[in-house]
Structure 1
Amino acid sequence: MDTDDLGLFGPGSVTWKVHEEPILIVAGLRSLYLQALHPRAMAGVAQNSNYRTDAWGRLVRTATYVATTIYGTTAEAEAAGRRLRTLHARMRATDPFTGERFRIDDPDLLRWVHVTEVESFVSTARRAGLALTDDEVDGYYTEQRRAAALVGLDPADVPGTAAEVADYYRRIRPELRMTREAAETALFLTAPPIPWKLSLPLKLGLHLGPPRWAYLGIAGTALALLPAWAQRLYGGLGLPTTALSADLSVRALRLALAAVPRRYREGPLLQAAKERAARAAAA
């Protein structure tokens, strides 16, 4: 393996600029709220995942996969994609309305998950205050077609600009609805089980305090950042003041996260990628 390989994107990409933002923790949660509104996508998760009993483990695995595709070498990113495609190829689920069996790696489902993720990442970063031009936003969507190819999608069938993403959302909205599984998942995302080390104080009769309230603040911000049409599906959350309050909240959260020392908010994959980039620049 080329130890100086800069991967699918590299330090000059819009992708690196966006994904260096720790505020993307909110974006990831926003994308999950969106994904839950697609009945088949939600059925696929509910019928093939242990997310309720291993929520934090699944979150870590998903974050590691995304970080590998963004910051890993080309070989590491392609290997992660092969593992995911192999896993998806074995999975099936039943449509909750028609009873039809379908494949988890159906391109329509993969495309929905991809678009909700990348749109959540770039829109959240921008609303949080990251300076991005319209051309850079389009560049991000175009670059992320490489990530879409890793899961088995034809890049030509994936929206590659902001206009194409908006058109995709317009076309798919008639398929989206609030199902019982979507409602249960949204509730779970808003108040998930607390990791053991944080839940121990409760068992000892102590007040949990900051961890739970901090997470509730993140979840509330993620919900408020949803498009108005998605908020309406979740019960009319799209109030006139929601967009402004969401922007203020996510900007304040970004400032708070920026105060955390880099060694705590930059994972090992990003650190290794920066080291490879430094060696390549020196050479």
Structure 2
Amino acid sequence: MSWSLPSPGELRERAGDVLLHRVAGPSAHEKRARIHGAPGPRWFGPERPVRVVHADASMYVGGLAALLLQSLHPLAMAAVAAHSGFQGDPWGRLQRTSTFLAVTTFGVDEDAARAVERVRRVHAGISGTTSDGVPYRASDPHLLGWVHCAETECFLRAQLRYGRRPLDAAAQDGYVADMAEVARRLGVDRPPCTRAELTARIVAYRSELRATPESRATARFLLSDPPLPAPARLPYAFLAAAAVELLPPWARALVGPPRATRLLLPVARPGGRAITAAVRWAIPPPPRPGAAEAARAPSHG
């Protein structure tokens, strides 16, 4: 019996399948075909900045940074720790989040509206009290606003640092405005619509943010103990360092990354570039948009 090494194309296909199945679930290819290929109007046209950002491999760095930044709000962290099951089923949570972003960014408007309604129903059933006795509701517009601002800031920061074609100033404002469209539908009150407004809104939240035992545990889990096979640990360590380095210095200090991640911070940017390049190599381009995409629901200024 003769053995032959897989070709570069076969290696690429295998790596892409593994990554897609981790991020989007076992039906990843079917989801992609539906989201990108179904005919019909979309919330965002092909020219919108949100499509540029959310189609880029930099989202892998931005997504991890967003989770770390979001965890610094004690009420948001309490809700996640008590109700999301992110440590018991981290891949399931990642797959649900990535599918929501893909559907609302690229999917037909009916699917996007259904995805938003599902999230709103879940939020409506989540409430509780922090370890300090402070009540919270996941549907609280102010709390939703923090989660929205944190992810918008981190996705945008990652695109500017690691994106294939970093957005110019006008497109950055356009991205924040695009994200605000979805945020309003989720229940966020007056989401920021420009980069300057986003920066000011995050500053306004600063007094509410702090490190907690829950946020520290989240950082340890995400940065030191992710449920990954041994061969993926080293690449992930560089991804984790890139995500931490992406955060503003004040947030990085509150996150308190573990020593192994801190040691990699001096090489976080070249490591982040290598990781995003590897993801671009492995993940195949999405299917062509549906033929009837020309008609779109909302208009953008």
Task: Quote the offset at 1:248 in angstroms.
Answer: 3.0
The offset of 1:102, in angstroms, is 2.3
Displacement of 1:144 in angstroms is: 1.0
> Within 1, Cα distance between the matches of 2:104 and 2:216?
31
Provide the C-alpha distance between the structure 2 equivalents of 1:185 and 1:172, rounded to a whole number of angstroms.
20
Preserved contact between residue 29 and residue 219 of structure 1 (Cα < 8 Å) = yes
The residue aligned with 1:251 is: 273
Give 2:187's match in structure 1, choosing from 125, 132, 152.
Answer: 152
Residues 1:80 and 2:115 are matched in the alignment: yes
Runs of 4 or more consecutive aligned structure 1 residues displaced over 4 Å after TM superposition: 278-281
Cross-structure match for 1:103? 137
Instruction: Verify: 1:122 aligned to 2:156, yes or no.
Output: yes
The match for 1:214 is 235
Matched residue type, 2:240: A
Q: Secondary structure at the match of 2:42?
A: coil
Q: Deviations over 1:88-142 (max 9, x none)?
A: 1011021332x13221110111011111111111110111143211110001001
Contact kept? 1:15, 1:143, Cα under 8 Å = yes
2:102 to 67, 81, 94: 67
SS in structure 1 opposite 2:139?
coil
Query: What TM-score do you get using the length of structure 2 for normalisation?
Result: 0.78
Residue 61 of structure 2 aligns with an amino acid whose one-letter code is V
**Pair 1:188–1:74, CA change in 2 (3 A):** same
Deviations 1:16-61 (A, max 9, x none): 1111102201111100000111111000111112111111111111
Measure, in 2, the Cα distance between the counterparts of 1:103 and 1:279.
39
**CA 1:68–1:234 in structure 2 vs 1: closer, same or farther (change >3 Å)?**
same
Q: Is the 8 A contact 2:216 2:256 kept in 1?
A: no
Give structure 2 stretches of 5+ with no counterpart: 1-37, 295-301
The sequence identity of aligned pairs, in percent, is 37
Q: 2:227 matched to 1:227?
A: no
Shift of 1:4: 2.8
Distance 2:166 2:45 in 1: 19
Equivalent of 1:164, from 197, 201, 224? 197
State the distance in 1 between where 2:95 and 2:275 align.
Answer: 21
Name the amino acid aligned to 1:162: R
Q: What root-mean-square deviation, in Å, do the aligned CA atoms of Structure 1 and Structure 2 show?
A: 2.3
Is the 1:55–1:192 contact (alpha carbons within 8 Å) kept by the matching residues of 2? no
| Change over 3 Å in CA distance of 1:106–1:279 after alignment to 2 | closer
Change (3 A) 1:25 1:86: same
State how far apart, in whole Å, the 1-side matches of 2:145 and 2:192 are: 9
**Equivalents in 1 of 2:104, 2:47: separation in Å?**
16
Deviation, 1:275, is: 2.7
**Cα 1:261–1:100, aligned 2, differ >3 Å: closer, same or farther?**
closer
* Contact 1:48 1:93 (8 Å CA) reproduced: no
Aligned match of 2:289: 275
CA distance in 2, matches of 1:17, 1:77: 18
Secondary structure of the equivalent of 2:289?
helix
Aligned partners of 1:228, 1:93: CA distance in 2, in Å? 31
Matched, 1:191 2:191: no
> In structure 2, do the counterparts of structure 1 residues 109 and 259 end up closer, same or farther at CA, with 3 Å as the change threshold?
same
